[in-house]
Amino acid sequence: MGKVYAEITLKNVYDVVSAKQGFIKEEQVHSAVVTVMVDTGAMMDLVISEELCQQLGLGISRMREVRLANNQTEVAKVTDPVEVHWKDRDYIGNAWVLSGLREPLMGLLPLEHMDLIVDPVNQTLVGAHGDEMISYI
């Protein structure tokens, strides 16, 4: 199976809440439309670059040591919450900021939460149950 990419929208959760409460205008919410590589083997939420972190105005909540696919370890910054939107589905989680990252990556947690699977034949992201999202509680 080749690489699978998806276009998603990311939003700073704190900005979204501030806009809903009337503290800032909707157009002041930090957001970005990005193409991510979908990685069903990555247990992280979302992996982004330092530049994208700054564009979204995300704060850093903590540092964590992570093991990369090449078995090396690196200390990553873990951001404040970010909203992930794919079509009509959404997820709120943290992003991990890695130095030297070439492309953003979306891991298993947002995929599962948004009820998404990879279609290996068409190399696309699709809803596991078609257009109807199923939530497991």
Confidence band, pLDDT 50/70/90 cuts, at residue 110: very high
pTM of the predicted structure, to 2 decimals: 0.88
- Asked if 98 contacts 76 with a C-beta cutoff of 8 angstroms, the reply is yes
The CATH number assigned to the domain with range 4-127 reads 2.40.70.10
- Name the percent of the chain lying above pLDDT 90: 65
Alpha-carbon distance of 115 to 103, in angstroms, equals 23
Q: Which helix (H) or strand (E) holds 111?
A: helix 108-113
Confidence band, pLDDT 50/70/90 cuts, at residue 116: very high
Best CA proximity match to 108, nearest among 88, 131, 125: 125
Going from N- to C-terminal start, the domains of the chain cover 4-127
Over residues 2-56, the pLDDT tens digits come to 689 999 999 999 999 999 999 999 999 999 999 999 988 887 789 999 999 999 9
Phi, psi of 105 (to 5 degrees): -135, 135
Asked if the model's pLDDT at residue 130 lies above 80, the reply is no
